[in-house]
Amino acid sequence: MNSRNPLLQEFDFAPFSKIKTEHFKPAILKAIELAKNEIDKIADSTSNPTFENTIEALEFSGKKLDRITSIFFNLNSAETNEEIQKIAQEISPLLSEFKNDVILNEKLFERVKEVFNNKKSLELNGEQLMLLDKKYKAFSRNGANLNSEDQTKLREIDKKLSSLSLKFGENVLAEANKFELHITEETDLDGLPDHVKQAASEVANSKNKDGWIFTLEYPSYIPFMKYAKNRSLRKTMALAFGAKGFHNDELDNQDNVLQIVKLRFERAKLLGYKSHAHFVLEERMAKNPKTVTTFLQELLEKAKPAALKEFSELENFAQDLEGIDQLQKWDASYYAEKLKQKLFDLDDEILKPYFQLNNVIDGVFTVAKKLYNLTFTEVKDIDVYHKDVKTYQVTDNEGKEVALFYADFHPRAGKRDGAWMTVYKSQEILEEKNIRPHISIVCNFTKPTKNTPSLLTFNEVTTLFHEFGHALHGMLANTTYPSLSGTSVYWDFVELPSQVLENWCYEPEALQLFAKHYETGEVIPQELIDKIKKASNFHEGMATLRQISFGMLDMSYHAVDPSDLSNIKEHEDKAFESTKLYPEVEENCMSTSFSHIFQGGYSSGYYSYKWAEVLDADAFEYFKEQGIFNSEVAKKFQDNILSLGGTEDPMTLYKRFRGKEPQPDALLKRAGLLEKQ
């Protein structure tokens, strides 16, 4: 089996077309075995521990396992099925066990510790010192100094956590796939744009049903909530969306949330930390929960007056327009869109024809060319996991290989919601050869219909730029060690490259490159660009409040002792108290589908979106001062931020790029919150 298993052969590009689901488990088991042998060789060495034979050897061990698991878990997010999910449940505890076998290997830790204790005499460069520090902390922060009884406890906790996290995500996906709103009366479609109705008709047709079907996938859900006139149907959709994992059935996530937060706390205490947040934030720019809480609280004080004012205006508008006495959550997008149209004469439906997906892709490539001299050439001979996936060879201005780029844009049943960037092969320098990375972005954008190509909302345009910003961070990586490469940076720094690139979506100089009417080829009129700019801060207070609320919810679970926590809904309501605008909906609970913190890597880190916004607003102000395509500023950003990954402290890198620490006022100014006080 092993000799015929494509995952165990040598390959450069992921061999998707050759991989069968049954290949994964044996390949991962074999790769764990190979990685264990490599670890044993380092630990059992009779040579004196050195940086090369211990730290570097450890860094470059387990590469086959890393590549196979990156392929597997990316598929589990982008193209999953019951078989893959079953394998994920089987292998996750094994991977967790292997990780702990490494971390809790006494002989190995002794060697690492000896190198660490002698670091002052080793004449290491900055990147080597960072790697040494990171490797030592990987042991010391994860149980290497515990006694054997506590190490056994840690192993059990980690196994349970990995299984619970997977189960949480599977339940959310299953809930989203299970729901459909089947409409048979055309009057129930009042207000919806033609292309939205067309897409819903095609979904119904694909399920051999008459009429129209709407789902909880973003390209279906969001336009329905924004445009559907039928308030009761908006309510049906909103309740379904907000109750994922909250039905007291086999897909319920309440107990999973309780177990996850309690196990994380138990783990942190075992390791000598006050809470899970204290453990996590020690390795973040913020350093501790107090800094995060203060940051969110100060932002709340700035944003709340603006949010309350905006909410009051929206309430009055809905009352005047249609006699709505009490705004509910399912009214938010609908009336906000109508108010936006009234205030700015701007409608997503007017903008969408200018944002054909292929044009926006070309646009983001052109922006990358102008900033970083990158060229993207579509290639058709690279294996992909689904026919929708596009592949591009990325080269620099001398024609040298920079990266391979995968892009997967549309929703389907096997793909989780949202958008993300991921890595199939890391950048590293090995035996003096610079190995270039394979980077992917995965999104859930509006699909083409029989009558129209894929036309993006402006929000989808900014999402594409956001994920592409992460991709640039991966593609332009230029470090020696893979664990310090690309997006391997502090979590509250990782959103800087993604969020800063969103700024180009609002600039006339950038929009004119790609915002062209899909039928006439007409470049977006300046009048519409002016309206986009003018509307960019529309309801920014409420949007900021929403992000703060998620950050506060995250910290409410992870910065305290959750031992007495028993009712998820009550806990959530209390956490949202200071940010609440709309009446509470008893049937809904956000926590049970809050995948960022219970499935992804954002536990104790959701604040980082707003934290990185401070950085990105300040960074973009520098671009604006010098010109948004200024080559010198772009080179400084590439050389100090994008290419150096996690090789130095983030604030050191930022100050080297900017010349000073970031100024929070740049964010408040851009968000229009200063003048709304």
Terminal Cα distance for the chain, rounded: 67
Q: Which of 67, 55, 54 is nearest to 16 (CA)?
A: 67
CA 110 to CA 5: how far, in whole Å? 37
Kindly report, residue by residue over 426-460, the tens digit of the pLDDT.
999 999 999 999 999 999 998 898 889 999 999 99
Q: What are phi and psi of 641, to 5 degrees?
A: -115, -60
Instruction: Say how many C-beta atoms besides its own lie within 10 A of residue 215's C-beta.
Output: 21
Active site annotation includes 467: yes
User: What span, in angstroms and rounded, lies between the C-alpha atoms of 297 and 303?
Assistant: 10
SS (H, E, C) 76-110: HHHCCCHHHHHHHHHHHHHHHHHHHHHHCCHHHHH
Stretch 28-50: mean pLDDT, rounded?
Answer: 97
pLDDT tens digits, one per residue of 521-571? 999 999 999 999 899 999 999 999 999 999 999 999 999 999 999 999 999
Both tokens assigned to 227: 């445009």
- What amino acid occupies position 197? K
Name the CA radius of gyration of the chain, rounded. 25
Chain centroid offset of residue 481 CA: 23
Indicate the pLDDT class of residue 2, thresholds 50, 70 and 90.
low
Residues in the chain: 677
Determine the 3-state secondary structure of 441 from DSSP: strand
Residue 440 pairs in a beta bridge with 406, 422
Cβ(645)–Cβ(479) under 8 Å?
yes
Read off the pTM.
0.90
Mean pLDDT of the chain: 95
CA distances from 242 to 588, 598, 649 (A): 5, 16, 39
CA 579/CA 552 separation, integer angstroms:
9
* pLDDT at residue 347 in the model: 85
Q: What are phi and psi of 97, to 5 degrees?
A: -65, -45
Span 454-483, pLDDT tens digits: 999 999 999 999 999 999 999 999 999 999
Pairwise CA distance, residues 447 & 647, whole Å:
40
Instruction: Say how far apart CA 407 and CA 445 lie, in whole Å.
Output: 12
pLDDT band at 675 (very low <50, low <70, confident <90, very high): low
Say which of 38, 428, 467, 495 is annotated catalytic.
467
Query: What is the spatial distance between Cα 196 and Cα 221, in angstroms, rounded to a whole number?
Result: 10
Q: Is 440 helix (H, G, I), strand (E, B) or coil?
A: strand
The separation between CA 170 and the C-alpha centre of its own chain, rounded to angstroms, equals 17
Residues 6+ apart with CB under 8 A from 598: 165, 168, 253, 256, 257, 260, 591
Domains in the chain and their CATH numbers? 2-145 (1.20.1050.40), 179-242 (no CATH), 254-344+541-606 (1.10.1370.10), 353-520 (1.10.1370.40)
Model confidence at 105, pLDDT cuts 50, 70, 90, reads: very high
Rounded Cα–Cα distance for residues 568 and 573 (Å): 9
Q: What is the pLDDT of residues 187-197, one digit of tens each?
A: 999 999 999 99
pLDDT band at 140 (very low <50, low <70, confident <90, very high): very high
